[in-house]
Amino acid sequence: MKEWQNGRISEWPTGRASDKAIDGALLCILVLYWDRAQSVGRYFAFSFVL
Amino acid sequence: MATLTALLNAVQILGKPSWREMLTYVAELHGRSTHPAQVPFLYPWEEIGPGYCYGPAFGHWDAIHAFLDTQFDEPEHARQQLLNYLSVQSEDGMLPGAVWMPRADDPSRRSPRWSNRTSHPPVWPMAAQAYADFAHDDGILARVYDPLIRQIHWFEQHRRAEPQGFYYSDILTFDWESGVDEGVRFKDVQPGPFACVDASAHMYLLYTAAEDWGARLGTTTGLYGAKAARLRAFIQRELFSEETGFFHDSWSVNHPDRRPMALEGMWPMVVGAATESQARRVIDENLLNPQRFFTAHPVSTVGVDEPDFELRMWRGPTWNSMTYWAAWGCLRYGRADAARLLLERALDRSAEQFGRTGTIWEFYHPEGGAPELLLRKPNTSHNTPCRDYLGHNPLIAMARLWQEAEE
């Protein structure tokens, strides 16, 4: 059988979403959120200047 | 951990007295390997052995070999293992290899995982049918019939060989789908999906089970019987060598220079796809031949007179599960004498090693030497056979078969 190889997950197609995929998804959400947070911040900063 | 009391009681009167201590240990090991139900399993699940170096793990043909031991004395436990085994089948019919269960000391294994690409040898219908026959329980066949049909479709969609037969992905990608990791047949990558002797025989098994179970359940159409007949004709005609009296892969059967005597060539005999005369030659000229597979601890996984023979995993050492299937095939063709010979020798040698080391080894020295001397996978950190390994040691089933072969 193809055996677990010291956690080298990249070699492993998995039947469930892998932890790395979950981590990646969380990072994407954070990046999106950060982008929006920055936009909102810029809006308020611009409003304040005006 | 569970206690399988009926199994523990049964082994006290099973086989030769010199096997008792070992068989008692095996019965206890089955209990020690059983864990409470957890995702993804609905029932308590039995790992393939607490000593497995990448454990805890469930599934593959190892789970079926463990099932063979418990099916008669602990039928509810065995039934639950069969249902656990089939529960991870995907919608398209693929049954994955091992299911890797979580490990507290390994952050990369926080949740159960399994491959959705690589399957394993589907020997389970033989065990399921024996269970149903013994328990007079066609209900279990009704429950597993749909998974069987879906698995057939998956193999037909994804493992059909050219021009005929079936293959395991090992010949192209070294995924060890065949369970024969780093076996001698896979030393070279094949340029295409050619017929493997084991995969083709295992598909014959699925077709015949589908036909037989369909008839028992009143749903047969004759479709699978016809497919089985075509595949049987192909195996008998194209995969048998008159020179060796043995079966081989399609790419090597007619090429003596690259035709290894690998034990996987026994599978057409085990599943009943060989003619009577072919089976006789497989048994007498190969399985019972000391120059080939009939070693002190039979059966070796590569013929001992082969240049490819090594004391390394599937390149020579003996796996008791394969001895069990070899004996099963012998009985199928009316050769109780051969079955008893293979089983008794294998059980004697296993008991000797148990007496010396106090454990059940993943695989054994074919000449009865120390398993510690064998290589496993030299390019990994686990290069000796695992201890306390059940997945290839149906020793209780072997002792039972040995006893039945006498009756």
**Angle (nearest 5°) at CA B239 between B233 and B242:** 105
Of the pLDDT bands very low, low, confident and very high (cuts 50, 70, 90), residue A14 is: very low
B356 touches chain A (CB under 8 A): no
Q: Is the pLDDT of residue B161 over 70?
A: yes
Interface subset of B 136-175, CB within 8 angstroms of A:
175
A14/B380 touch (CB, cutoff 8 Å), yes or no = no
pLDDT at B188: 85
Of the pLDDT bands very low, low, confident and very high (cuts 50, 70, 90), residue A41 is: low
Q: Is the pLDDT of residue B321 over 50?
A: yes
Across residues A29-38, what is the average pLDDT? 65
Pick from B110, B117, B381: which is nearest to A19 by CB? B110
A19/B108 touch (CB, cutoff 8 Å), yes or no = yes
pLDDT at B2: 84
Pick from A2, A5, A19: which is nearest to B115 by CB? A2
Pick from B88, B108, B176: which is nearest to A2 by CB? B176
Q: Is the pLDDT of residue A28 over 90?
A: no
Pick from B60, B113, B175: which is nearest to A14 by CB? B113
Q: Is the pLDDT of residue A29 over 90?
A: no
Of the pLDDT bands very low, low, confident and very high (cuts 50, 70, 90), residue A21 is: low
| B177 vs A43, higher pLDDT | B177
Non-local (6+) Cβ contacts of B140 within 8 A are: B79, B82, B128, B131, B132
Pick from B60, B116, B177: which is nearest to A15 by CB? B116
Of the pLDDT bands very low, low, confident and very high (cuts 50, 70, 90), residue B312 is: very high
Q: Is the pLDDT of residue A11 over 80?
A: no
Across residues B98-117, what is the average pLDDT? 90
Non-local (6+) Cβ contacts of B386 within 8 A are: B49, B51, B52, B53, B361, B362, B376
Q: Where are the alpha helices (DSSP H) in B319-377?
A: 320-332, 336-357
| A33 vs B341, higher pLDDT | B341
Q: Is the pLDDT of residue B88 over 80?
A: yes
Q: Which residues of B touch A23 (CB under 8 A)?
A: none
CA distance A7 to chain B (A): 6
Give the type of residue at B273. A
| A38 vs B293, higher pLDDT | B293
Interface subset of A 1-50, CB within 8 angstroms of B:
1-7, 9, 12-16, 18-19
pLDDT at A16: 45
Would you call B113 helix, strand, or coil by DSSP?
strand
Across residues B151-163, what is the average pLDDT? 97
Pick from B109, B113, B120: which is nearest to A15 by CB? B113
**Closest residue on chain B to A3 (Cα):** B54
**Closest residue on chain B to A12 (Cα):** B115
ipTM of the assembly? 0.71
Q: Is the pLDDT of residue B210 over 50?
A: yes
pLDDT at B251: 96
B381/A3 touch (CB, cutoff 8 Å), yes or no = no
B54 touches chain A (CB under 8 A): yes
Exposure class string for B192-215: b at 16+ Cβ within 10 A, else e: ebbbbbbbbbbbbbbbbbbbbbbe
Across residues B84-104, what is the average pLDDT? 95
User: How does the average pLDDT of chain B come out, rounded?
Assistant: 96
Which of B111, B169, B177 to mutate to test binding with chain A, by most A CBs within 10 Å of its CB?
B111
pLDDT at A33: 67
Q: Which residues of A touch B392 (CB under 8 A)?
A: none
Give percent above pLDDT 70 in chain B.
Answer: 100
Q: Is the pLDDT of residue A40 over 90?
A: no
Q: How far is CA B48 from the centre of its chain?
A: 13
Q: Is the pLDDT of residue B69 over 70?
A: yes
Q: Is the pLDDT of residue A31 over 80?
A: no
CA distance B389 to chain A (A): 14
Give the gyration radius of chain A's Cα atoms: 20
Pick from B108, B114, B380: which is nearest to A7 by CB? B108
pLDDT at A2: 77
Across residues B157-172, what is the average pLDDT? 96
Tell me the two tokens of residue B305.
Answer: 């007179």
The burial class, CB within 10 Å (0-12 / 13-18 / 19+), for B28 is middle
Q: Where are the alpha helices (DSSP H) in B218-293?
A: 223-238, 267-270, 276-282
Place of tokens 């080939």: B292
**CB-CB contact of B360 with B300 (8 Å):** no
Across residues B67-81, what is the average pLDDT? 97
CA distance A26 to chain B (A): 17
A3/B179 touch (CB, cutoff 8 Å), yes or no = no
Which of A2, A18, A19, A23 to mutate to test binding with chain B, by most B CBs within 10 Å of its CB?
A2
pLDDT digits (tens, 9 = 90+) for B169-182: 999 988 899 999 99
Non-local (6+) Cβ contacts of B325 within 8 A are: B123, B266, B267, B270
